[in-house]
Amino acid sequence: LNRQLLRDYITYPKPLQNRVLVRQADYWYALHQTVKAFASYRLLQSTTALSTQPYSKNGFCDTQYQLKKFKNAADCYGELATLIADKDLLAMVNYRKYMAQLRFLPHSSMLNNFKQLENAFPSEEVGLRASLKSTDIKLLQNREKISNATREYHRVTEKAVNRFVREEALFKEALTYALRDEAGQAIHLLTQFLRQFSVGNLQESGQALLISILPKEIKRLADNKEYIQALVLAKQNRILFQNNWIDSKFLVDIADAYRKVGLFEESEKLYLYLIGIVPLEQREQYYLPMIASAFEQGKYTLVDDYSAQYAYNYPNGSFSEDILYYRLQALLASERFEEGIELLPSPLPDNKGITEIAALLFYRTDRYEECLKAVNQLQDNSLTERARFMKADCLFRAGQNSEARQEFAKITVDSEYYNYALFRLAELAKREGKSEKSLSFLRKIVEKGKDDSWKQLAERELQIRDTVQNLPLMRQPNSKK
């Protein structure tokens, strides 16, 4: 068509020349070049070439509407209506006329016009479009009728065949749920909407609405301890977080929810992602929960790596002691005792967790004197069973028998160190020559002990002592021989 229109070696008579110019305007209109089409149509608006061509006249009306010349567009559609005989097409022309008038007349005065179209064409495109618009007007007039609006938008969504009508209806249905503070249903519909109309005219509006309500809904679910629902919602819409369209602070709620339901790997990954996207001054707060998540998974090497990064970036960080505690535990669990000892601050901080781990590192490397010093920094009435056991055993090895006996005696029967404590008490009684008391401790292990290895050791010790007691006395050597 354009090649034919651009042939400039043909001279047309005036009436035919205007027809050619109308087709040139139609060409621009078909290519959606609104300004060019409008300019071309306007030059011909008083000619019969335009006023007798319904398609071209519609193009002129539409370009005026798109350029927000609504009064002119309304008049144009009124003129176009005189050229239309088909009832359905005439209804659509009137709908466009009412839409133009809606831009400069009171909404209430237009309601009946849309209702007439709706009643005349209840299941056809023009009727459904009119229904959408009349519902819009009624909702704007009275927000209390929002439930009615929701139902009507849903009805149009179900009935509409035209893709653009369904798109508008579904979006408005979701919007009314959002306005009713029913965020869960709104998000459900918006997810459906964005999937079905991924290249629709309202795609950006749908995303904007989802972005505005999703964080609050996730936070509400997290506050109500509905962590699984919050995580599912976040995962379904992860692209919004990945594109930084939602403030990263809401990711913290999601990461925290992952931790609370035991999904430590997901939590760790999310905190690592946060550290990568937020400004440097905001990153520090995410290291501790990330390291805790890695520790819960038994990723001790990663715990050490993350902790080293934190120590390098924040030498005087607010979470230094807590992170050091996790790092020392990870090194202890990996049996990297010397590395752990090298990291210990001197003097040890007033931190019960770090001090006990320090004592354990010293104990595992046979540095009993340093272990005892560390344990003695702890309050005696708040010692854990493990700390009390280490204190007692270090006193035993240092030969402080009385103090060791007192500490071993405090270890309860439910403790995992109970059998060890009984064995040490037996040894202490033996050192002091209290043979029968020593044997009673060993028999208690055999009779009531829960650890087979300690029971076997106690049985063997009893057998050895019994054997020694039953040996014949050795004769004194004869001095004459």
- Asked whether residue 476 carries a pLDDT value surpassing 50, the answer given is no
Alpha carbons 108 and 128: distance in angstroms, whole number: 19
Residue 157 pLDDT grade (very low, low, confident, very high; cuts 50, 70, 90):
very high
- Asked whether residue 35 carries a pLDDT value surpassing 90, the answer given is yes
pLDDT tens, 235-249?
Answer: 788 778 767 777 767
Q: Residue 192's closest CA among 149, 218, 243, 158? A: 158
Per DSSP, the three-state class of 281 is helix
Instruction: Report, as an integer, the average pLDDT of 40-62.
Output: 94
Alpha carbons 16 and 252: distance in angstroms, whole number: 70
Residue 449's pLDDT is 59
Instruction: Report, as an integer, the average pLDDT of 399-428.
Output: 87
Alpha carbons 13 and 256: distance in angstroms, whole number: 79
Residue 421 pLDDT grade (very low, low, confident, very high; cuts 50, 70, 90):
confident
Residue 472 pLDDT grade (very low, low, confident, very high; cuts 50, 70, 90):
low
DSSP 295-309: HHTT-HHHHHHHHHH
Per DSSP, the three-state class of 368 is helix
Residue 339's pLDDT is 95
Alpha carbons 382 and 384: distance in angstroms, whole number: 6
Residues with Cβ within 8 Å of residue 323, at least 6 apart in sequence: 287, 288, 291, 307, 310, 311, 317
Residue 219's pLDDT is 82
| Inter-CA distances, 209 with 154, 190, 379, Å | 18, 8, 57
Alpha carbons 135 and 130: distance in angstroms, whole number: 8
Enter the tokens of residue 148. 């009615």
pLDDT tens, 371-386?
Answer: 999 999 988 877 889 9
Residue 88's pLDDT is 92
- What does the longest C-alpha to C-alpha distance in the chain come to? 161
Alpha carbons 241 and 280: distance in angstroms, whole number: 19
- Higher-pLDDT residue of 454, 301: 301
Residue 413 pLDDT grade (very low, low, confident, very high; cuts 50, 70, 90):
confident
Handedness of CA 25, 28, 31, 35 (dihedral sign): negative
DSSP 244-265: T-S-THHHHHHHHHHHHTT-HH
Residue 356 pLDDT grade (very low, low, confident, very high; cuts 50, 70, 90):
very high
Residue 199 pLDDT grade (very low, low, confident, very high; cuts 50, 70, 90):
confident
Peptide bond preceding 347 in cis form (omega within 30 of 0): yes
Residue 224's pLDDT is 83
Instruction: Report, as an integer, the average pLDDT of 33-62.
Output: 94
Residue 452's pLDDT is 62
Q: For the chain, how far is it from start to end, CA to CA, in angstroms?
A: 140
Q: Residue 200's closest CA among 162, 152, 155? A: 162
pLDDT tens, 203-212?
Answer: 999 999 999 9
Residue 450's pLDDT is 64
Residue 200's pLDDT is 85
Q: The pTM is what?
A: 0.62
Residue 263's pLDDT is 83
Residue 473 pLDDT grade (very low, low, confident, very high; cuts 50, 70, 90):
very low
Residue 310 pLDDT grade (very low, low, confident, very high; cuts 50, 70, 90):
very high
Lowest mean pLDDT among 104-108, 223-227, 335-339, 362-366: 223-227
